[in-house]
């Protein structure tokens, strides 16, 4: 592996106070995403080392600290990413400490938690970083031991030479600082891995279990005030006037002010897309006092855009699909002629509602903004874009803005959008004090940002032999279509057409775990089962026939999947689940497979019915995500995605009446409960030695299709609309 690509943005080496070795992570500037970290509570870094965001630290006593530049949102990158570095650095994992870094645009780019890209993007650069540090330590040891580098080897942070010669990394760290960065380093082969591929506990696990301060809600500062915001009660409304006299008379209330989150002439970022411009902020000495005072503020709202309700919204989408001006995204062959000649045409329409994110940690952020600088700390997936917005709002040099990232108690895409952090900053500047903004559950659920609602229509044409000869998909949704035009079955059908149309709405929407895929996968896989049934074929056999075509003679040039890998996880799922004949009496089985975030997942799901109430039994899941860095963490991600997908497909639905959300808290909004989770989840990873791909999101989309197909088998009729329990009740 060469290290001199883009040398200006590569590795920076410097001495630390008191000696030691600092290796900069600037190599990562050429990557779209990176993350790093680990924590062993028993270890302590020497006091002479201070924090350098974006650096590896090696102390004279051999302890290694790795700063984590990316947000930790529960995807476990704070464990898996440093494993990559530690592997190539060849250190004892028990001697590694992790610290959470702050936003550092000098050394990093795209410090984002999202898209299941951390491991994929960091795989080569982070390993190269570790290997480069090891090479420089070896060179330093060769000088000190007066021997040739080729005579040396490393193991667990020690360097061994001929005879009884040995020296620790810490002993040569200061000398290594003077060694030039090598032009090339050799990375380990997978068969030589000692850390990668081994079960490794979450480095923050003990701290989480013992309540140590890791999350945004844990941030405290001397003199800190608490704040809450009042936003419009319905979409399409904005602030007209308010009277805060009663609130200001309540105990502990410091101020009630109006804030403008999107003033004219200021440059906002895409992460501010859900911002409500004019809001009321209540500031006080405690969260409880603020929550009570918010109820006492008298507010007048005015309607500025039409009120939307569910029935009308669905009707608009139906009309758009039927008569709207669609955009053709992909065309192969002559679909119109193929449908005319088809012996059988199958057509179905699938839908899914708006969904809130429901992060368990409340939306919160700390801000202390003065005329000279801004200090911000909290749970956010997009810290760099927050910094840009703050710089624009306050005409401030980014160098004077500090953005610290805390661990997040859930995000699922909601914390991509930093409106809550911007609000905290505006409130702090206005009241001239450090402020912690905290949303109530009602604030979060009624103010967006939601997973869009979707509607998609499928048509398939079969010839007299049951062969798929035509396929047409047309989709719409709030603020965009869910259709991925280049995904399967594109490439496996001679005559293929994909069309999109978008519905405008004043209801704020945004990314939700596995954006777009979280709906379209389930719809596609349910429809393919319909087509297989019409063709008189087993649903797995039907799909594999299509993949054979895609492998032997693919249609088109832009197919974004590897047909062989896709078919591989399907065959593995068929084998591991005992697809044919293993389900018992009263057990109904559904299958689905999907490709997203560069990974392939296939699932077989078993359901039993108690009246109209489904109970999910075993879920067999096969995953091709390349090399699995941390199997324990990977298993957690897969299981979590499956449960998340099942829960929202069965119960999740946000509805609106005249623009007002109908659910404000969990007393009316239905989430999956413990007894409703699968009785077992059986996960199998494909061991193919390929570089890792996405893992945090790919297991969620297909399980919705597998569930739909199992429910259809149980009921003897198809389910088309989510949430499925509503469909089952008729």
Q: Give the pLDDT confidence of 244-301 residue by residue, as tens digits.
A: 999 999 999 999 999 999 999 999 999 998 889 999 999 999 999 999 999 999 999 9
Q: Is residue 176 part of a domain?
A: yes
Answer yes or no: do 384 and 422 share one domain: yes
Q: Could you tell me if 103 and 405 are in contact, meaning their C-beta atoms sit under 8 angstroms apart?
A: yes
Clarify whether residues 387 and 522 are in a common domain. no
7: closest CA among 185, 129, 183?
183
Q: Does some domain include residue 524?
A: yes
Model confidence at 7: pLDDT above 70: no
**Angle, CA of 243, 301 and 670, to the nearest 5°:** 110
Question: Given pLDDT bands bounded at 50, 70 and 90, which one contains residue 35?
Answer: very low
Long-range contacts of 151-157 (CB under 8 A, 24+ apart): 154/90, 155/90, 156/90, 156/91, 156/92, 156/95, 157/62, 157/64, 157/90, 157/91, 157/92, 157/95
pLDDT at 36: 34
Count of helix runs (H) and strand runs (E) in the chain: 17, 28
Residue 25 pLDDT greater than 90, yes or no: no
User: Which tens digit of pLDDT belongs to each residue from 711-728?
Assistant: 999 999 999 999 999 888
> What are the tens digits of pLDDT across the range 660-671?
999 999 999 999
In a domain, 389, yes or no: yes
Q: Give domain status of residue 1, yes or no.
A: no
Q: Which of 53-62, 533-542, 605-614 has the lowest mean pLDDT?
A: 53-62
Query: Are residues 102 and 226 part of one domain?
Result: no
| pLDDT category of residue 557 using cuts at 50, 70 and 90 | confident
Q: Which of 180, 209, 238 is the last residue of a domain?
A: 209
Shared domain for 413 and 492, answered yes or no, is: no
Same domain assignment for residues 418 and 546: no
* 377-415 pLDDT tens trace: 999 999 999 999 999 999 999 999 999 999 999 999 999
List the single range of 106-120, 369-383, 453-467, 549-563 with lowest mean pLDDT.
106-120
User: What is the phi-psi region of residue 163: left when phi exceeds 0, alpha when psi lies from -120 to 50, beta otherwise?
Assistant: left
Q: Does some domain include residue 63?
A: yes
Instruction: Select from 646, 332, 648, 649 the least CA-distant residue to 473.
Output: 332
For the cut 70, the answer to whether the pLDDT of residue 109 exceeds it is: no
- Report the percent of the chain where pLDDT is more than 90: 78
State mean pLDDT over 439-460.
95
One domain, residues 237 and 107:
no
Q: Which residues pair with 258 in a beta bridge?
A: 280
Q: Is the per-residue pLDDT at 12 higher than 80?
A: no
For residue 427, tell me if it sits in a domain.
Answer: yes
Range scoring the smallest mean pLDDT among 19-28, 276-285, 574-583, 698-707: 19-28
Query: Final residue of a domain: which of 406, 438, 470?
Result: 438
State the residue range of the domain holding 413: 216-304+363-438
User: Does residue 471 form part of some domain?
Assistant: yes
The total number of structural domains in the chain stands at: 3
Picking from 209, 220, 637, 640, the residue whose alpha carbon sits closest to that of residue 406 is 220
339 belongs to a structural domain? yes
DSSP calls for 345-404: EEEEEEEE-BB----SSPPEEEEEE-SS-EEEEE--S-HHHHHHHHHHHTT--GGGEEEE
Nearest to 496 by CA among 335, 339, 321: 335
Please give the pLDDT value at position 111.
Answer: 80
Q: Could you tell me which of 293, 277, 282, 281 has the C-alpha nearest to residue 237?
A: 277
Q: Is there a single domain that holds both residue 104 and residue 250?
A: no
Q: Are residues 277 and 378 in the same domain?
A: yes
pLDDT band at 191 (very low <50, low <70, confident <90, very high): very high
Residue position matching structure tokens 């890998």: 565
Q: What is the mean pLDDT of the chain?
A: 90
- Among 438, 462, 493, residue at a domain's last position: 438
Low-confidence winner among 122-136, 382-396, 531-545 (lowest mean pLDDT):
122-136
**276 and 152 co-located in one domain:** no
pLDDT at 1: 56
Residue 430 has pLDDT above 60, yes or no: yes
If pLDDT is split at 50, 70 and 90, which confidence band does 178 have?
confident
pLDDT at 46: 52
Q: How many CB atoms lie within 10 A of CB 302?
A: 11
Whether 263 and 115 share a structural domain? no
> Helices 563-577 and 539-552 meet at what angle, rounded to 10?
160
C-alpha 514/C-alpha 597 separation (Å) is: 8
* pLDDT band, residue 39 (cuts 50/70/90): very low
217 DSSP assignment: G
Same domain flag for 601 and 517: yes
Do 95 and 55 contact (CB within 8 A), yes or no? no
CA dist 539 and 509 (Å) reads 34
Residue 32 has pLDDT above 80, yes or no: no
Q: How many alpha carbons fall within 13 Å on the CB side of residue 708?
A: 32
Predicted local confidence at residue 44, as pLDDT: 65
Report pLDDT for 205: 93
What percent of the chain stands above pLDDT 70?
92
- The answer to whether residues 496 and 605 belong to one domain is yes
- Predicted local distance difference test score (pLDDT) of residue 157: 93
pLDDT(678) > 60: yes
Report residue 718 CA to chain centroid gap.
31
For residue 596, pLDDT over 50 is answered with yes
pLDDT attached to residue 574 = 97
- Please identify which residue in the block is written with the tokens 């594109």: 490
* Residue 6 vs residue 190, higher pLDDT: 190
Domain CATH code at residue 235: 3.30.365.10
**Within 13 Å of residue 133, how many CA atoms lie on the same side as its CB?**
34
343: DSSP letter: S
DSSP assignment of 412-434 equals TTGGGS-HHHHHHHHHHHHHTS-
Answer yes or no: is pLDDT of 376 > 50.
yes
């Amino acid at each position: 592996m060469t290290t001199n690509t883009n040398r200006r943005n590569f590795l920076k080496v410097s001495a630390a106070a008191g000696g030691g070795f600092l290796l900069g992570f600037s190599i990562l500037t050429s990557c779209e995403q990176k993350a790093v970290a680990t924590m062993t509570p028993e270890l302590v870094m020497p006091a002479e080392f201070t924090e350098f965001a974006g650096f590896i630290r090696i102390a004279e006593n051999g302890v290694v600290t790795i700063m984590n530049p990316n947000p930790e949102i529960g995807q476990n990158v704070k464990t898996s990413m440093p494993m990559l570095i530690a592997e190539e650095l060849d250190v004892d994992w028990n001697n590694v400490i992790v610290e959470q870094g702050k936003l550092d645009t000098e050394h990093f780019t795209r410090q984002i938690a999202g898209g299941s890209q951390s491991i994929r993007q960091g795989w080569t650069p982070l390993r190269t970083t570790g290997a480069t540090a090891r090479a420089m330590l070896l060179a330093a040891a060769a000088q000190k031991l007066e021997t040739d580098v080729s005579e040396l080897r490393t193991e667990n942070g020690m360097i061994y030479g001929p005879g009884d010669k040995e020296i620790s990394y810490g002993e040569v760290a200061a000398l290594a600082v003077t060694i030039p960065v090598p032009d090339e380093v050799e990375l380990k082969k997978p068969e030589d891995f000692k850390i990668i591929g081994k079960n490794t506990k979450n480095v923050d696990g003990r701290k989480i279990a013992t309540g140590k301060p890791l999350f945004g809600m844990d941030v405290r500062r001397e003199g800190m005030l608490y704040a809450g915001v009042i936003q419009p009660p319905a979409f399409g409304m904005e602030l007209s006037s308010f009277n805060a006299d009663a609130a200001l008379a309540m105990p502990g209330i410091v101020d009630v002010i109006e804030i403008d989150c999107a003033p004219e002439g200021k440059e906002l970022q895409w992460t501010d897309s859900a911002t409500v411009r004019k809001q009321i902020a209540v500031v006080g000495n405690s969260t409880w006092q603020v929550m009570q005072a918010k109820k006492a503020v008298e507010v007048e709202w005015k309607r500025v855009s039409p009120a939307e309700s569910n029935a009308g919204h669905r009707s608009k989408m139906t009309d758009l699909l039927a008569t709207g001006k669609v955009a053709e995204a992909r065309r192969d062959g002559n679909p119109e002629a193929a449908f005319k000649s088809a012996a059988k045409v199958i057509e179905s329409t699938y839908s899914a509602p708006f969904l809130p994110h429901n992060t368990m940690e409340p939306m919160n952020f700390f801000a202390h903004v003065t005329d000279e600088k801004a200090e911000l700390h909290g749970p956010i997936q997009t810290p760099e874009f927050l910094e840009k917005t703050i710089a624009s709002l306050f005409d401030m040099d980014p160098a004077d803005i500090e953005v610290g990232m805390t661990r997040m108690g859930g995000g699922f895409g909601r914390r991509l959008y930093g409106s809550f952090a911007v609000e905290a900053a505006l409130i702090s500047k206005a009241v001239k004090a450090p402020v912690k903004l905290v949303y109530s559950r009602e604030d979060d659920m009624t103010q967006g940002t939601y997973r869009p609602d979707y509607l998609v229509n499928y048509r398939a044409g079969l010839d007299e032999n049951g062969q798929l000869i035509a396929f047409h998909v047309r989709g719409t949704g709030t603020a965009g279509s869910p259709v991925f035009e280049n995904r399967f079955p594109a490439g496996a059908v001679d005559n293929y057409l994909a069309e999109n149309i978008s519905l405008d709405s004043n209801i704020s929407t945004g990314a939700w775990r596995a954006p777009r895929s979280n709906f379209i996968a389930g719809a596609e896989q349910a429809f393919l089962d319909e087509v297989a049934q019409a063709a008189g074929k087993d649903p797995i056999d039907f799909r594999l026939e299509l993949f054979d075509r895609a492998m032997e003679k693919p249609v088109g040039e832009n197919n974004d999947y590897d047909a062989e890998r896709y078919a591989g996880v399907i065959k593995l799922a068929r084998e591991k689940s005992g697809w044919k004949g293993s389900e018992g009496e009263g057990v109904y089985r559904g299958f689905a497979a999907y490709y997203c975030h560069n990974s392939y997942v296939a699932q077989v799901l078993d359901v039993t019915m108690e009246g109209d109430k489904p109970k999910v039994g075993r879920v067999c899941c096969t995953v091709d995500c390349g090399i699995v860095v941390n199997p324990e963490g990977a298993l957690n991600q897969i299981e979590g995605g499956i449960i998340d997908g099942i829960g929202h497909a069965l119960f999740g639905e946000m509805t609106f009446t005249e623009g007002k959300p109908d659910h404000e808290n969990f007393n009316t909004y239905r989430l999956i409960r413990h007894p409703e989770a699968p009785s077992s989840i059986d996960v199998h990873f494909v061991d193919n030695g390929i570089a890792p791909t996405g893992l945090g999101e790919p297991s969620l989309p297909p399980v919705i299709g597998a569930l739909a197909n199992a429910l259809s088998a149980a009921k003897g009729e198809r389910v088309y609309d989510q949430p499925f329990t509503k469909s089952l009740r008729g």
